[in-house]
Structure 1
Amino acid sequence: MSGHSHHIQKPGWVGEFQKFLVRGNVVDLAVGIIIGAAFTAIVSSLVKDILTPFIGLLTGGIDFSNIFITLKGPHAATLADAQKVGAVTVNVGVFLNAVIQFLIVSFVVFWLVKLVSMARAKPQPAPATPPEPSKSEVLLSEIRDLLATRTGETLPPRV
């Protein structure tokens, strides 16, 4: 072995990647993802624990999760039983539940965003009306008009 020390040079993209990671938007994105995960738990609980029981009452307690098609294996009464015996199933009901939950969550998030937007909305300023002309401006306009009528001039329209 020789006494030369070999310095391994980092590729240029490593430095760029480090700069990227410490940029503000990446940190903001990470915070957003963390808050989003916590918010997801809240919205999921709202859907599962508060809204779903009412929907169950409205639909007569239909359990969509047990709507499935057995492709291979013995047919069972419930999806759980079919899975226990190793049947291959197309889980239509589970998919329907996911779609319904998505629609409910989307609806709830829509209204939450709408409420937050309304709370944040700044009152719109009243449309600006032109200020009334001062007494001297009115008087000067009248004098101008009188002089113009005496000399027969045509005046520009009043603004």
Structure 2
Amino acid sequence: MGGFKRFLLRGNIVELAVAVIVGATFSGLVQALVSDLVTPLIGAVTGGRRPNFADYSFTVNGSQFKYGDFLNHMITFLVIAAVIYWLIVVPMNRLVSLFEGDKKSTEKECPECLSTIQAEARRCAFCTTELVPESQKPA
């Protein structure tokens, strides 16, 4: 029972629960964005009326194919993916590159094996190629 208690009280579980709740709320927000803004915009471009893609379907041998509902979900997915990319991934990549900027100045790539080594190294630790340190290279 002690192991179960430690498992429940780990920080990862709480973070995961918060992520699920925020994700569900975010999903509702994006679905509203699609139904209230993107779909009417598509309707304005395609003829001035607000299309309800959920009603689009066709029937084959008595089976109904609701391709409109699929279109709604696809638009929602694309909007979510775009928002995640532009508002989370791009800023995080920039932030990480700012912190890695100092690290890159103290490291270099071995010309033989392409391993990352210290800039002042005279020999690659991976392939043992002799190298000229950055401070001894001609300007």
Alignment of 1:114-133 (within 5 A): 114-117=89-92, 120-121=95-96, 122=98, 124-125=101-102
Corresponding residue number in structure 2 for 1:51: 38
The answer to whether the 8 A contact 1:67-1:92 is kept is yes
1:34 aligns with 2:50: no
Larger radius of gyration: 1
Task: Provide the aligned length of Structure 1 versus Structure 2.
Answer: 104
Report which of the two has the higher share of strand.
Answer: 2
SS of residue matched to 1:31 = helix
Question: Contact between 1:47 and 1:101, CA under 8 Å: does it hold in 2?
Answer: yes
2:89 paired with 1:100: no
Paired residue for 1:113, among 88, 94, 98? Answer: 88
What's the CA shift for 1:95?
1.6
Identical positions, percent: 38
1:89 and 1:66 map into 2 onto residues whose CA distance is: 11
User: Is the 8 Å Cα contact of residues 47 and 105 (structure 1) preserved in structure 2?
Assistant: no
Aligned-pair Cα RMSD in Å: 3.3
Distance 2:76 2:59 in 1: 24
Secondary structure, counterpart of 2:64 in structure 1: strand
Letter in 2 for 1:97: N
Equivalent residues of 2:30, 2:76 under 8 A apart:
no
| 1:69 aligned onto 2:58 | yes
Higher relative contact order structure (alpha carbons within 8 Å, sequence separation ≥ 6): 1
For 1:102-156, what per-residue CA distance to the aligned partner results, in whole angstroms no more than 9, with x for missing partners? Answer: 1222222221124532674536349759xxxxxxxxxxxxxxxxxxxxxxxxxxx
Relative to the length of structure 1, the TM-score reads 0.49
Provide structure 2 residue ranges, at least 5 long, that are not aligned to the other structure. Answer: 107-134
Take 1:97 and 1:109, find their aligned partners in 2: how far apart are those partners? 18
